[in-house]
Structures are given as C-alpha cells and as structure tokens.
Structure 1
C-alpha cells in the first residue's frame, strides 16, 4: 500500500512539473511568462489584446531581393498567427514573385510555391517550417543592420519544437495561433 501511494505521489509530481514547464493553454494560469530551461517562455494571459502594436526592429539587407523576401516571409508568419489560410497564400505568391525567373530554382521560392496549392492551415504551418529553414542562411548572410529574432516553440509539431523569424522580440507563435499565441522564446538575435 505504501509503495502504491509513493508511486502515485511520484507520478503526480512528474506530471505536475511537465505541466508547469510546457506552454499549454491553461485558463487558470494568468501568468504572462514562466521560465523553461533558463530561457524566457511566454504564454497568453486570458483576455489580453494581442493585436496591439509592438516595437519592431528595422532591418536592412545588402540587397533588395532579400529585403522583399523577408517582408513577405513576415506576412506569411503574421497570417499563420491569425490562422488566415487565404492571407498565407497571398503573401506566399508575393514571395514567389520576388524571385521572378529565378523562382524555378530558388529554394525559398520553391518552398513558398507549395503554399499556393494548400488551404489547410496545419499543412501551411508544416510548409512554413520548411520555408524558415531555407530563409536562415540567406538572412544571416544578407543582413547589414538591425535585428532579426530567431524564435522557438518547444511544443510545435508534437513536442519536436520548431523555429521562426520575427522583427520583434515579442512572441507571436505561427505554429499555434490563438491556441498558444505567446508560447516560445527568443533563441538567437541575428545582427
């Protein structure tokens, strides 16, 4: 009996610690942020207005193509945050157009084209993950001033976690939208 009680208590403590360190959408937790592995984690507080403007980093790039690509990437991210599959397609089309004739061979444009045939928001979020991976070397090589925030959500894709880029330190999670709007942390600042 004592062993069963001890096992039950141990399991309860483990489950409790998992709940506290994840970014679950708890209605009882009105705290705006918590700590996870030494990094700041954000969570949406109930009733908060997440449409208000945040301070955005003004970024300049060494060439106009990358600047335009980043602008449309951010539009895709914002549309995913808002779970607007139509706006995702529109922004992706503009991203493809940035590359013109090179769109047939450019990794970013090829990944952006995949959005054009998909209306399911979850499939679009999958494509966004792939697009983010293609953007990384381009952004790091072409930035000339300003900051880009590489952000991470540990809960994305069944706990595998994934990244995205933002022009603001404020977390707006494209992988969950309103479900876990502020779930994530800044992993790196690219300057």
Structure 2
C-alpha cells in the first residue's frame, strides 16, 4: 500500500515537473524570438525584424494560457504583428518599445536565462531586454549604437 501511494505521488510530481519544464521552454522560446527582433533592429534590418516578429507570434501561440493570460499574450502578439507587417524600421522600432515594456514585465515573473539585462535608451525614453550588458541600441541602430545604460539585471 505504501509503495502504491509513493508511486502515485511520484507520478503526480513528475507530471508537474514536466509541465513546468514545458512552460519554461515556451516562455524561453518567446524570449529568444524577442532577442532576434532586437538583434535585427540593432543592425537596421527591417526584413529580419519582420521575420523574427513572425516567429515571435508563432511562439506566443505555443504558450499555455495558464502560464501567461490570453490578454497578455494578445498584447504581445499585437505589438509583434505591427513589427511583422511593417517595412518601416521607424514603425518597427516604435512597436518594439511597446513590446519591450511588456516583455520586461514577463521577464520579471519568469526566469528567462541566467542573467537578463534591462537596458535603457534616454533618447527614446524606453527600455529593452538583452542577454549582455554591452549596449547595442535597437531604437537607433547604427546611428547611435552605444547610446544607453544598464538599468537592472534580472536573475
């Protein structure tokens, strides 16, 4: 009887562990696609930003509503859709500021990586997420590549 109870409890914990790993993977994938958008904007690559935004939208569709609410996912998809549909890098960068504000909120609630940096652009009065402390500004790209500062580090 004790062995049966132990086996049942172990099975329940295994399901929760697998579920948590799947959840982390879907949020991590969302973050990686966000980083791809940022990297494309850093290099002034409008087409790359559009493609990365389409991948971000696909990733957002894979996130369980129990992990991140449907409303929050809709907001993220809306911001990414504007980036995906636009060929104007200025419009993409404006939407990226909104997407970044929402992704920063996600980053504060989920462990996305060992270290995630919140960087700040004073010219745009907007922040973005990065995997490194090094400033590579997605709001101005090559025009002002190193403009900005480290605001915080999320661990």
TM-score per shorter chain, which class? Answer: 0.7 to 0.9
Q: Please, which of 41, 44, 49 is the counterpart of residue 88 of structure 1?
A: 49
CA–CA separation in structure 1 for the residues paired with 2:127 and 2:152: 10
Give the superposed CA RMSD: 2.3
**Which residue does 1:142 correspond to in 2?**
110
Q: Which has the higher contact order (CA 8 A, sep 6+)?
A: 1
Query: Does 2:137 align with 1:173?
Result: yes
For 1:124-143, list aligned pairs within 5 A: 124-143=92-111
Structure 1 counterpart of 2:148: 184
Structure 1 residues not aligned, in runs of 5+: 1-59
Q: How many residues align?
A: 128
Moved more, 137-146 or 60-69: 60-69
Scaled by the length of structure 1, the TM-score of the pair is 0.62
SS at match of 2:152: strand
* TM-score of the pair, normalised by structure 2: 0.76
Displacement over 6 Å in runs of 4+: 101-104
Conservation of the 8 A alpha-carbon contact between 1:69 and 1:98:
yes
The answer to whether the Cα contact below 8 Å between 2:41 and 2:49 also exists between their aligned partners in 1 is: yes
Q: Which has the higher helix share?
A: 2
1 or 2, which has the higher strand percentage?
Answer: 1
